[in-house]
Structure 1
Amino acid sequence: MKKNWIAVFGITLLLASCSQPQRENIDFEEWGKYWFQGQAEISSFDLTQYRYGEPREGEAVLIFVTEDFSRKNQVKLDDPEASKKDKVSVLKMNQTRNFNTGIYPYNMMLSAFTPTKENSRGLKFTASSQEWCGHTFTQVNLKKGENYSGQIFSYFESEGDHSFSFSGLAEDDLWNLIRINPNEIPLGGVQVFPSLIYQRLSHQEMKSEEAFIRIQDISTQRRQLELTYGSGKRTLRIDFEKEFPFQIMGWEELETKEDGKQEITKAVRKGLKMLDYWKKNKLEDAFLREELKLK
């Protein structure tokens, strides 16, 4: 029954997207057995997040799941079957980071939506940050002409409610591209828009920068994506398994400050489960947090 459902889904996806350029060299029949089974992949990480010049111990979670998305409105569809050509399959990543700075907590979340079969850059990225001083929200959408348009809503006067635009590759798209197929990632010199989480913590100007991307083997079973910005001030490394489904095992962000001090934010995987978490909302389901080693 499951195999028949996957086959029907694949045919439907192909018909709906036949007018769009397709990703090549990907076995979507095999890909769909993992990603189109009606469950999400949830992985938990021990997090060391640098903030205000000091390392903070916390926790991060990555949630990857496929869903039907609206091309026009760039939101999850309520009734995919009625949407016809407006429907596009995406891989969604939700990334959460939770840590404390002294007495008060930070709760951060990043979402990225990238077409699965269609050869397109990420359609939408959002990030939110809540802490005792206030909260902020940033949203970026891919517009016609291959340019991105974004808005930030912040409690800081200098940021206010601000609009911006940029072209190039969004750093936050790299996580989904790894999971779809690392071969989809452009290598070498690339114009990159830094992560919304990094920009939230650094308050950097919303603009893309010259960067260099490479992927290399780091063991017999793992590879590493390395993104280095031309300024030399920041490097992102993401470790992932060599074989499909290219599970992410950890990452680190190296930032060199003006005084030469290097701050290293690091995450190491500690738990993994495939499940339909949106149905696991009863008190009796709380044991699943223990299986994921969540605090």
Structure 2
Amino acid sequence: MKSQSIVFLLVIIFIVSCSKPQRADIDFEQWGKYWFQGKAEISTFDLTQYRYGEAREGEAVLIFVTEDFSRKKQVKLDDPEASSSDKISVLKMNQTRDFVTGIYPYHMMMSAFTPTKEQSQGLKFTASSQEWCGHTFTQLNLKSTDSYNGKIFSYFEKEGDDTFSFNGMAEDDLWNLIRIDPKQIPTGSVQMLPSLFHQRFTHQEFKTEEAFIRVLDLSTGRSQMEVAYASGSRVLKIDFEKEFPYEIMGWEEIQTKSDGTKEITKATRKGLKIVDYWTKNKVGDEFLRKELNLKN
């Protein structure tokens, strides 16, 4: 009997030691009614994107949806029910930007995968950029609490195909933290890797910088998250609704050049729809793009 009690105690200790810390002070019953309904939230934006020193008019889209993710492989699970021990729920954000520079277009996409209930930084981030010169692809994977390994595949000789690593937080994680709950945003001084889109435009080295994060009240119903890098060269501002589900209404990215001039990339929301878009792939479904106010 005594030996059985010891075995039972050891099992309990093992279970507790293996359990992951959970996000606190979130009403996941309310949260799940919105995010676990088997649909995605799609929001569209008018975009003013600075590139090559000039403002370019374009479009941006944010797609937020929950998925069952593989802890080990850090990819979407094909059969979640058969992978219970490997399964983790994530909120995925896909962000696209489309604009034209002179004669040729840019098509950019970034994805962020952040655990919904577990207290963890984003597990994976990817970004791709296609334009007539060529294309590039970057991927970050979380290896421990705040340690990431990265890979870049690029047509630029200086970048080539390379690997890198860093300790800190990825700026691109902040979009999902707003949507999970703004209280999850770490405020104050943070060691942060600037956005993968920002790296594409600047071709800067993949390394963290000190950044200061704060959340401001803009009005009765709206808040703003501001990320200001200590170097003074970059500020990100994301406007969102104060009440759940904390819809993102727009953003600004302010890049200060070495001569003091500022380039302001700005996005303003123009449409929103909750829809299982992966089933809307017929010609007859194209009217949904008009409902989202998409131009192309």
- Quickly name the TM-score band, shorter chain normalised: over 0.9
Provide the residue aligned with 2:148 in structure 1. Answer: 148
Counterpart of 1:123, as a letter, is L
Q: What is the percentage of aligned positions where both structures have the same residue?
A: 75
Q: Map residues 189-228 of structure 1 onto 2, 5 A cutoff.
A: 189-228=189-228
User: Would the aligned equivalents of 2:47 and 2:267 in 1 still touch at CA under 8 Å?
Assistant: yes
Alignment of 1:64-213 (within 5 A): 64-144=64-144, 146-213=146-213
Distance 2:183 2:130 in 1: 35
CA RMSD across the alignment: 1.0
TM-score normalised by length of structure 1: 0.94
In structure 2, the CA distance between the partners of 1:70 and 1:27, relative to structure 1 (3 Å rule), is: same
Secondary structure in 1 matching 2:197: helix
SS at match of 2:43: strand
- Letter paired with 1:178: I
**How many residues get paired?**
279
Q: Report deviation, 1:204.
A: 0.7
Identify unmatched segments of 5+ residues in structure 1: 1-14
Give the corresponding residue for 1:49: 49
2:28 — aligned with what?
28
Gaps of at least 5 residues in structure 2 are 1-14
Query: Which residue identity does 2:256 align to in structure 1?
Result: T
| Residues in 1 aligned to 2:233 and 2:213: alpha-carbon distance in whole angstroms | 15
Match of 1:236 in 2: 236
Shift of 1:19: 1.3
Aligned to 2:85, the other structure's residue is in SS state helix
Once residues 58 and 228 of structure 2 are traced to their aligned partners in structure 1, the CA distance between those partners, rounded to angstroms, is 25
Name the CA distance, whole Å, in 1 between partners of 2:245 and 2:81.
Answer: 27
CA contact (8 A) 2:39 2:275 kept: yes
**Residue identity in the other structure for 2:127:** A
Q: CA deviation at 1:145?
A: 5.1
Provide the C-alpha distance between the structure 1 equivalents of 2:169 and 2:104, rounded to a whole number of angstroms: 34
The aligned residue for residue 3 of structure 2 is: none
Larger radius of gyration: 2
Question: d(CA) in 2 for partners of 1:140 and 1:188?
Answer: 24
Deviation at 1:292, TM superposition (A): 0.1
The letter for the 1-side match of 2:94 is: N
Look up the match of 2:4.
Answer: none
Aligned to 1:5: none
1:169 deviates by 1.1
Q: CA deviation at 1:146?
A: 3.1
Structure 1 residue identity aligned to 2:144: K
Cross-structure match for 2:260: 260
Residues 239 and 250 in structure 2, CA contact (< 8 A), matched pair in contact too: yes
Match of 1:249 in 2: 249
Give the conservation status (yes or no) of the 8 Å contact 2:171–2:192. yes
- Identify the residue that residue 285 of structure 1 maps to in structure 2: 285
Secondary structure at the aligned position of 2:75 is classed as coil
Question: What is the alpha-carbon distance in structure 2 between the residues aligned to residue 186 and residue 122 of structure 1?
Answer: 13
Tell me, in whole angstroms, the C-alpha distance in 1 between the residues paired with 2:145 and 2:275: 38
**What SS class does the counterpart of residue 245 from structure 2 fall into?**
coil
Calculate the TM-score normalised by the size of structure 2: 0.93
Amino acid aligned to 1:97: R
The structural deviation recorded for 1:260 is 1.0
Aligned to 2:271: 271
Aligned residue identity for 1:37? Q
Residue by residue over 1:84-110, the C-alpha shift from the partner in whole angstroms, topping out at 9 and shown as x without a partner, is 110000000000000000000000000
